[in-house]
Amino acid sequence: MIDYIRLIVGAVALLTIAVIVLAFYRVGKELGAIRAVGRAAIQLTFVAIVLRSAIHTGWGAAAVVAVMFTVAAVTAYRRMSTLDRSLVAAVFGCAAGSIVSIGIIVGASVLTRDLRTLIAVSGIIIGGCMTAVTLTGRHLRDGMVHRRDEIEGWLAIGATPRHALRDIARRAAGESLIPGHDQTRTVGLVSLPGAFVGALLAGADAGAAARFQFVVLTGLICAQAVAAVVTAIILTSVDRLELPQPAGT
């Protein structure tokens, strides 16, 4: 009970400081911070209860992974829903990256092949794919807005939508990978990632925790690369291109 009281007091103190700072500078995100922390508390409590049984049964683990994937795909879709074929891109982008990385890491026994590892790795990889798909879609949309004249020029001389958007799509995919690459390059120097810290807290020695984190980060590099490229290809594979309008028009 003491630990839970300390947890609540600490969380309230941290959230209060965040709200005060945001209010002081009139950022306007105070309610957003409160909602985010509230949702996190509810969701993590629910997840903890579910995982207690899920890690012991195959169907339970499969259900958890399915929910993770569904939420990731829907979230990515909502972030880029103004683009044609965004739902297809979100589903297949997340699926392609996740299947490749999770299949190799867990299926090929790069890490221990058990349900606990499957759930942990799937959560990290699927989340990374969601980020890559979302950023690819958003950067592509921004490029279509800012380079509208260039795209219309290509279309005017008979280029296909894929050709007209090719350079913008490649740039969008590349930009989406920057956060993941930066995280991997600076691991252990700037921060200790959650998987590493979690393994340590679970009782693993530093060497085992480092191996787990290395595999996960490498898996993320692979998954996000596949997800970003698949997303870019799908979003540019349209027969008729409708360019998005700038915000406020």
Q: What is the pLDDT of residue 199?
A: 65
Q: What is the pLDDT of residue 92?
A: 97
Distance CA 137, CA 160 (A): 19
Average pLDDT along the chain: 88
Task: For the chain, count helices (H), then strands (E).
Answer: 10, 0
More confident residue, 21 or 53: 21
Q: What is the pLDDT of residue 134?
A: 96
Q: What is the pLDDT of residue 246?
A: 67
Could you state, in order of their start, the residue ranges of all structural domains in the chain? 1-54, 58-236
Which residues fall within 8 angstroms of residue 173, CB to CB, at 6 or more apart? 136, 228, 229, 231, 232
Rounded percentage of the chain residues whose pLDDT exceeds 90: 53
Compute the average pLDDT of residues 15-26.
95
Compute the average pLDDT of residues 61-76.
93
> Residue 181: how many CA atoms within 13 Å on its side-chain side?
7
Q: What is the pLDDT of residue 195?
A: 63
More confident residue, 28 or 134: 134
Q: What is the pLDDT of residue 58?
A: 82
Q: What is the pLDDT of residue 173?
A: 96
Compute the average pLDDT of residues 217-235.
95
Sorting pLDDT into bands at 50, 70 and 90, what band is 201? low
Compute the average pLDDT of residues 203-231.
87
202: pLDDT strictly greater than 70:
no
Q: What is the pLDDT of residue 4?
A: 83
Sorting pLDDT into bands at 50, 70 and 90, what band is 197? low
> Do 177 and 171 contact (CB within 8 A), yes or no?
no
Highest mean pLDDT among 103-112, 135-144, 187-196: 135-144
Distance CA 43, CA 208 (A): 29
Distance CA 123, CA 194 (A): 12
Q: What is the pLDDT of residue 120?
A: 86
The model's pLDDT over 78-130, given as tens digits with 9 standing for 90+, comes to 999 888 899 999 999 999 999 999 999 988 878 778 888 888 899 999 999 99
